[in-house]
Amino acid sequence: FNHACVNQIRGGFEKDDGSREYPAAVMLANFPKPTSTAPALLKHDDVLTLLHEFGHVFHHLCSKTRWAYFQLDSVQMDFIEAPSQMLENWGWEPSVLRRFAVHHKTGKPIPEELVARMVAAKNEGAGLFNLRQAFFGLFDMAIHNTTDPNVDIRTLYKTMRQEITRFAGGNANACGAATFGHMMGGYDAGYYGYQWAKVFSADMYASRFLKDGVDSQQTGLAYRREILKPGGSRDASVSLEKFLGRKPNNDAFLKSIGLDQ
């Protein structure tokens, strides 16, 4: 397995006698294995992946609906990645990193100067990354909206990739679309949801958690009540407005990728 994901083992639901069947989930990932000279050590990118997938786990375990179908199975695709992407923010918080990012031999926490440099370099390549995401989302929509039965997927992929990301294709015979694994993993006609949900996640994090404190129990409980608990039993826009106290906007997202100047 060369990716990372969370799969539902059992959905939670209300039984006929009023008791509850509690949900269960499994996280699949590729983290480094221990060696003969060192324990299993995570790179910072691994930590972000762990937090991302835990966001999905929390969404599944903390949702509380009458029927299992309305846990995660019916969460809108343009919101399903919001809780996961929002949890990644804790991987950039100095106060959080100091608690677990310690040297495996000395036990000393990660130096503040190193954290500051990491945060300063956070948006290195942000333009390329977001263009890449835009390309995948638009390509996904292009192939699912075409009415041409003879559409040349290989050429369409290469052409759109060059137009959007400004990177020309390499091997003329390569089929880049064949590497787009999400198309066979349930994100077909919905990959745009990653970027769409990132707008929501940035807004929630900046407007509530940064404002109230990343350790605020009150804000955490409000997030659990209004965002996680409903699962897919109500429209995501309702959950967002209840948590934010207003309609969401993209201000925090643009700032998070360095476009607030």
Would you name the residues annotated as active-site residues? 53
For 91-122, the DSSP string reads GG-HHHHHHH-B-TTT-PBPPHHHHHHHHHTT
User: Rounded to a whole number, what is the largest CA-CA distance in the chain?
Assistant: 62
Cα–Cα distance measured from residue 242 to residue 254, given in angstroms and rounded to the nearest whole number: 22
Residue 234 three-state SS: coil
Cite the beta strand spans of the chain per DSSP E. 5-10, 13-14, 20-21, 24-28
Cα–Cα distance measured from residue 52 to residue 79, given in angstroms and rounded to the nearest whole number: 14
Residues 6+ apart with CB under 8 A from 58: 83, 87, 228
Tokens of 155: 């050429």
